[in-house]
Chain A
Amino acid sequence: MARVLVGVKRVVDYAVKIRVKPDKTGVVTEGVKHSMNPFDEIAVEEAVKMKEKKLASEIVAVSIGPTQSQEVIRTALAMGVDRGIHVEVSGKDYDLLQPIHVSKILAKLALDEKADLVIVGKQAIDDDSNQTAQMTAANLDWPQGTFCSKVEKTGDGYTITREIDGGLETIKCKSPAVLSADLRLNTPRYATLPNIMKAKKKPIKKVAPKDLGVDTTPRIDIVSVEEPPVRQAGAVVPDVDTLVAKLKEGGHIK
C-alpha cells in the first residue's frame, strides 16, 4: 500500500471578487475569505478514496505558506487525511514563492516521508502556474501523470486517463509517480462537522524550508499587478450599414 503526499494550497476563495491593491504590488488578501485551492480538494479526495479502497496506507497533506495555511491542512484532515505538514513561509518570501521552490520542497518531503505517490491540483486558482506537478516529478525523476480525469491502480503502477486538448489520453506509468488532478477526476466530499472536530486532534508538523535544504529567497520582483481592462460600453447603431461602417472603421473587417 502506498503512502500518499498531497499538496494543498490556501488561496483566495473562488467566489471572492478579486481587487488589486492600490499600490499595484498584488491583490488584496486581508479580510478576504480564503479556502483550499479547488483542484487540491480534488487531489485530497482522490487520495482519501484510495485509502478507502485500501490502496493507500497513509495520507500526508502539505501546505506551504503563512500560519493561516494550517486552516487548509485542517480541512484536508477533516476530509480524511491522516496528518499534516506545514512548511512555514511568510512575508515577501511567500509573496514571491514560485513553483520551482514548491516543487523542491514537495520532492524533498516525498523522499523524507517515503511517499510512493504525490498528488497535487493541476494548478492553483490564484497564480494559475500549472507547473508544480511537472517540476516535482522532474526533481524526483519520477514518472508524471498530469490533468488526470481517472486514476486506476494496475499492477505495480497506474493507468491514467488525462484530459488533453480535444479529448482524452490514456497512459500507464510506474510507481512511484506524481499526479495532478483535473476538474473531472472526482467530486470532493464535505468535511462533516464531527470530522472537523476529530481533525483537531490529528497532528500537524511544522517545518521551515531551510530544514529541508530549500532556499526560498525571492529571485524575481513583481513590477506591477493590473486589473483587467474594463469592458467598453456598447452602442446601438441605427442600421446594418452603420454597423458595417463602424466595423471597418475599427479595423474588424476589410
Chain B
Amino acid sequence: MLRISAIATRNARNIVNGEVRRCLSATAAQPKHKVDVKQERATERQNMSFMANMFRGELEPSQVFPYPDVLNADQKEMITMLVDPFERFFRDINDPVKNEEISKLPTETENSLWELGAFGIQVPNELGGMGLNNTQYGRMCEIVGVNDLGLGIVIGAHQSIGFKGILLFGTDAQKQKYLPKVASEKVYAAFALTEPSSGSDAGSIRCRAVKSPDGKHYILNGSKIWISNGNIAEIMTVFAQTEVTDPKTGEKKDKVTAFIVERGFGGVTSGPPEKKMGIRCSQTAEVYFEDVKIPIENVLGKEGDGFKVAMNILNNGRFGMAATLSGTMRLCIQKASEHAANRVQFGKKIHNFGAIQEKLARMALHQYATESMAYTISQNMDSGSQDYHLEAAISKVFASESAWFVCDEAIQILGGMGYMQSAGLEKFMRDLRIFRIFEGTNDILRLFVALTGIQYAGSHLKELQRAFKNPAANLGLIFKESSRRAFRSVGIGGVDLNPYLHNDLRECGKQVSECMNEFGKAVEQLLVKHGKNIVDQQFMLNNLANAAIDIYASVVVLSRASRAAKLNLPTVENELLLAKTWCTDASYRALLNLKKTGSNDHVDLYNQMTKISNTVIENDGVFTTRPID
C-alpha cells in the first residue's frame, strides 16, 4: 500500500485535457479529444453523490440522510462474533513493538493471522474468505487501528489493494484461480503501480508489456518501487503501458493495462525491504520485471483500462483508512484521557484546565467526524452506490490529518511522558505519517475533490448554455435555474438541511446549509472568473477542497447525531453536543475558506507565495541575509 501512490492525478489530467475545457468553453469549437461515449453516458445517469451535487449548489440527501443502516440482524450478530477473537489476537498474540524491532511479522503471528481469516476478509465464503461486506470490514479495520498500524498495512496491502482488483474486475476463472490462494492459503498479494519516475502522476508509468506475435502472451519489462509486501508477494496486480489500437480510428496509442502477475512466471525479482520512518513490520521493496511472460488471460479488466482499474481499486479501499484511523484516534484519546484524569499539576488534575479541555474536546470531535464518515461511505458502498469517490477521497484526507492531529495532541497532553517510547504513542505518530502520503497524497486528493466536483458543476452549466441556445424548448430548465439564482442572490431559497435533522440541531442545520449555499456560489464564481483555467488555480482549489471537507464532515455528523436522537441511544446527549460543536466550528472555517476563493487580497497573497517559492527554487533554499551579518 505504501506508495501505490498514485491516484487521481490522471483524473485531474483528464479534466485538463478534455472534460473541463470542453465543458466550460462556450464555443467548444473543435474539441481536441473525442467524446468518450461511455463517460458521456455516465454523466447522463443521475449522480447521487452528496458532494458532487453540492458543487452545483444542489442538495442530494439520499446517501447521507437518514444515516445509512445496511446491516441486517444477522450481519450485526456476525460482527459481534468476529470482534472478540480479533481483539483477543491483538491482546494475546500480537506484539507491535516486537514486529517493529524485527521489521516483519514473526511467523507465529503471521500464522495466527492466516488462521484467523484476516487476509481474506472480503473474499466470498465459497472461495475461502470471510465474505464480509465493506461495513463489516470497516469494523475489523477499526480494531487494527487501535492496535497496530504496521500490521494493518501488511493485511491492507494484501487485500485492500493487492488482490482487490481480482475481486472487483476479475473474470470468474481469475477469481477461482487466485482468490482461494490469497484468502486462506498463505499466498501474499501486492499492488504494483508506483515507479521511480511516476508517483502522483500515475499515468506516466514506464513499465511496458508487449504482446507476443502469437497474441497469447504479454512480455513485461520495467520496475516498481515502494511496493508493500513486494518481497513476499507471490501474486501482484501490476500496471504497465501497452499499445492499444483504437477500434474506430485504427490509431495506435499507449494505454495502461492491469495484469495479474505471478512470481512463478519467472523474471520477477525484488529488492531488500526499505528502511522506513514507521509501519516497519510491513515490508516495502522494489520489484523488477525482466521479460516476464504473462498469459493473455491474466489481463485484469480490459486492455487499456488499467488506469480505471487502478483508480477503482484505490477509491474502493479508501474508506478502510478512515475506519482504521478512527480506531487509532480512539486509542489516543483513551491514553490522553487516562493521563489528564490523573496527572496533578498546580494542585489540580490537569483535565480541569481549559488548555487541556480544548485539546480533549477537539480530539473527540475529530474522532466522531472520522468515524461518521467511514461508516457513511462503507454503507453507501454496500448499498450499491457508484457515486462515492469524492466522499471516499475526502474521508482519506480527513482521517489521515485528524489522526495525525489527535495523536500529536495526545502526546502533547502527556508532555514528556508522551515523547517516551514506553507511552506507546510515538510509534503511532511515526506509523501515522505515511497515511497522508500513500494511496494518493492528500494534496493530490484535494485537487481531485475540487476538480472532479467542478467538472460536474461545469457539465451542468454546459447544459444550461445549451438550453439558452434553444430557450423555447428548454423553458422549464431555464426558469428553474434563473429563479433559483435570483432567489439565492437575495438570500432566499438555496438548500435547507433542517427537514432531515433532529430538532435540537436546527441551528447547526442553518449554519451548514449556509455553507453549502456559499459553496455553490463560490464554485460558480470561480468558474465565471477562471473558466477552463480553473485547473491551474491550485491555491483556490485547495481552499475549495478544505471547505468541502469541513462541510461533508458536518453533514455526516449531523446525520449520525440525528440517528442517535431518533433511536434514543444512551449516548444521545453527548452526540448532539459533539454535532453542535463540530458544526459551529467547521462552519466558521468553511466560510472563511470560501471567502478566500473570491477575495482579491488572497489572489495577491497567493501570487506573492508563488514568487517566494520561485525564489527558494532559484536559490536552492532560503535567500535572505542573516540579521547579524
Contacts and interface: CB of A to CB of B under 8 A. Distances in A.
Given A71-B77, A193-B116, A31 B84 contact: no
Interface stretch (B85-93, B231-239, B473-481, B576-584): B85-93
Given A71-B77, A71-B80, A193 B85 contact: yes
B82 A196 contact: yes
Nearest to B117: A193
Contacts of A197: 117, 125, 130-131
Given A74-B81, A75-B84, A192 B125 contact: no
Contacts of B88: 190
A196 B125 CA distance: 12
Given A31-B570, A71-B77, A190 B117 contact: no
Interface in B66-125: 77-78, 80-82, 84-86, 88-89, 112, 115-118, 121, 125
A72 to B, nearest CB: 10
B116 A190 contact: yes
Interface in A187-245: 190-194, 196-197
Contacts of A74: 81
B127 to A, nearest CB: 12
Contacts of A192: 85, 115-117
A35 B84 contact: yes
B77 A196 contact: no
Contacts of B84: 35, 75, 191
B81 A196 contact: yes
A74 B125 CA distance: 18
Nearest to B132: A193
Contacts of B118: 193
A78 interface: yes
A74 B112 CA distance: 21
Contacts of A194: 115, 117, 128, 130, 184
A193 B112 CA distance: 11
Nearest to A198: B125
Contacts of A75: 81, 84
Contacts of A193: 82, 85-86, 116-118, 121, 130
A74 to B, nearest CB: 6
A210 B130 CA distance: 39
A111 B77 CA distance: 32
A71 B128 CA distance: 23
A190 B77 contact: no
Nearest to A78: B81
Nearest to A187: B92
A190 B89 contact: yes
Given A197-B130, A197-B131, A190 B85 contact: yes
A196 B85 contact: yes
A44 B259 CA distance: 47
Contacts of B77: 71
20 contacts: A35-B84, A71-B77, A78-B81, A190-B85, A190-B89, A190-B116, A191-B84, A193-B116, A193-B118, A193-B121, A193-B130, A194-B115, A194-B130, A194-B184, A196-B78, A196-B85, A197-B117, A197-B125, A197-B130, A197-B131
Interface of B: 77-78, 80-82, 84-86, 88-89, 112, 115-118, 121, 125, 128, 130-131, 184, 570
Given A78-B81, A193-B117, 7 more contacts: A31-B570, A71-B77, A190-B112, A194-B128, A196-B82, A197-B117, A197-B130
